[in-house]
């Protein structure tokens, strides 16, 4: 396909994030029903569209969580326009938006070699697993969101994730059709997790914990919320206890991505990540 010089890249408008999420669903990424608002409002300046003769043909996100860390996601080109250079143009636009800081991504297998050419380096693989008909058990020792201060949860999250993500989490953990559970001992958070309704079934993410026992308690309470529907969990390959957990509950491999970083490696704690928050925003 010959590149059309009338192709332009601009910032995404608020109402257009729904299109990006719709395209993600077509790609098989199974986004949450209420993800769009959470994603866009994290950094409205970090969402872009590629437009050709008034038609949106490409989308890309590059979210700045702070002045130290950002995350690349939502790299989709409408199928009939692939191979024409439109994707690379919007990719470079987003790349430049984050190129002054450390940034991460969860790259699909087909694109990983291209990301490496831009400087991204493989940190570890992350695999998605599906559980069908799982039955959980709510643990009465776990707390709900209303039982703790949001500041303490943000502090704990920032001890695992590479940046403090106050704006994102405020929206994320308050989604409709979701549940968040927190493990605590001696007034210290040991872990927390969230499950949300998706186009198909439910996804758990994040599931952060200091130890496998806390992670399993939270996991069982979350899958109880799903009531036997499909449950999806994205796990860093390097977290052995997390992989033992999915084996114990007979969850099956779906697909994989690669966690990759550019401009260095941030503070990263995959040994405490029993479930990735979201492949789109980290």
Specify the CATH number for the domain of residue 54.
3.40.630.30
Residue 233's domain spans which residues? 128-275
Domain count for the chain: 2
132 and 99 fall within a common domain: no
pTM over 0.85: yes
- DSSP 8-state secondary structure symbol assigned to residue 238: T
Instruction: Flag whether 113 is in a domain.
Output: no
Domain stop point among 86, 103, 120: 103
- DSSP 8-state secondary structure symbol assigned to residue 280: T
73 and 167 fall within a common domain: no
pLDDT at 144 over 80: yes
Domain stop point among 70, 87, 103: 103
Give the residue from 127, 132, 112, 109 showing the smallest Cα distance to 227.
132
Instruction: Flag whether 114 is in a domain.
Output: no
For the segment 161-178, the average pLDDT, to the nearest whole number, is 96
Instruction: Flag whether 27 is in a domain.
Output: yes
50 and 162 fall within a common domain: no
Q: What is the CATH number of the domain that holds 225?
A: 3.40.630.90
Rounded to an integer, what distance in angstroms lies between the CA atom of residue 231 and that of residue 220? 11
pLDDT category of residue 216 using cuts at 50, 70 and 90: very high
Rounded to an integer, what distance in angstroms lies between the CA atom of residue 247 and that of residue 174? 30
- DSSP 8-state secondary structure symbol assigned to residue 252: E
215 and 252 fall within a common domain: yes
169 and 33 fall within a common domain: no
3-state SS assignment for residue 31? coil
- Tell me the C-alpha to C-alpha distance, in Å, between residue 147 and each of 34, 115, 141, 177, 223: 24, 42, 12, 19, 20
Give per-residue burial for 245-268: e unless 16+ CB within 10 Å, then b.
Answer: bbeebebeeeebbbbbbbbeebeb
pLDDT category of residue 1 using cuts at 50, 70 and 90: low
pLDDT category of residue 108 using cuts at 50, 70 and 90: confident
For residue 69, the cross-strand partners are 102
Which DSSP helix (H) or strand (E) runs through 17? helix 17-26
pLDDT category of residue 109 using cuts at 50, 70 and 90: confident
In the chain, the DSSP E strands lie at 8-11, 47-52, 55-64, 69-77, 102-108, 121-131, 178-185, 188-197, 202-209, 231-236, 252-262, 273-275
154 and 42 fall within a common domain: no
pLDDT at 3: 57
237 and 176 fall within a common domain: yes
For the segment 122-132, the average pLDDT, to the nearest whole number, is 97
201 and 149 fall within a common domain: yes
Task: Read off the pLDDT of residues 44-92 as tens digits, 9 standing for 90 and up.
Answer: 999 999 999 999 999 999 999 988 899 999 999 999 999 889 999 999 9
For the segment 232-254, the average pLDDT, to the nearest whole number, is 98
210 and 132 fall within a common domain: yes
pLDDT at 105 over 90: yes
């Amino acid at each position: 396909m010959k590149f059309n010089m009338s192709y332009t890249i601009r910032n995404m408008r608020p109402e257009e994030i729904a299109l990006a999420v719709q395209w993600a669903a077509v790609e098989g990424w199974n986004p949450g029903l209420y993800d769009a608002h959470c994603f866009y409002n994290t950094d409205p300046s970090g969402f872009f569209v590629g437009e050709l003769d008034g038609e949106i043909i490409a989308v890309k996100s590059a979210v700045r969580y702070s002045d130290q860390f950002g995350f690349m996601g939502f790299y989709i080109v409408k199928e009939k326009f692939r191979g024409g250079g439109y994707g690379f143009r919007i990719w470079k636009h987003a790349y430049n938006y984050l190129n002054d800081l450390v940034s991460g991504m969860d790259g699909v297998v087909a694109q990983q070699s291209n990301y490496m050419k831009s400087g991204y380096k493989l940190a570890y693989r992350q695999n998605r697993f599906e559980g069908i008909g799982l039955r959980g058990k709510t643990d009465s020792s776990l707390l709900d969101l209303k039982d703790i201060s949001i500041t303490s949860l943000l502090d704990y999250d920032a001890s695992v994730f590479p940046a403090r993500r106050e704006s994102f989490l405020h929206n994320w953990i308050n989604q409709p059709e979701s549940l968040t559970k927190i493990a605590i001992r001696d007034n210290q958070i040991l872990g927390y997790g969230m499950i949300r309704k998706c186009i198909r079934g439910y996804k758990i993410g994040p599931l952060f914990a200091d130890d496998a026992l806390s992670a399993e308690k939270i996991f069982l309470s979350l899958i109880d919320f799903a009531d036997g529907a499909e449950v999806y969990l994205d796990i860093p390959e390097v977290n052995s206890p997390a992989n033992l957990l999915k084996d114990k509950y007979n969850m099956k491999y779906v697909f994989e991505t690669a966690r990759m970083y550019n401009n260095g490696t941030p503070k990263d704690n995959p040994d405490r990540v029993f479930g990735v928050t979201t492949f789109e925003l980290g």
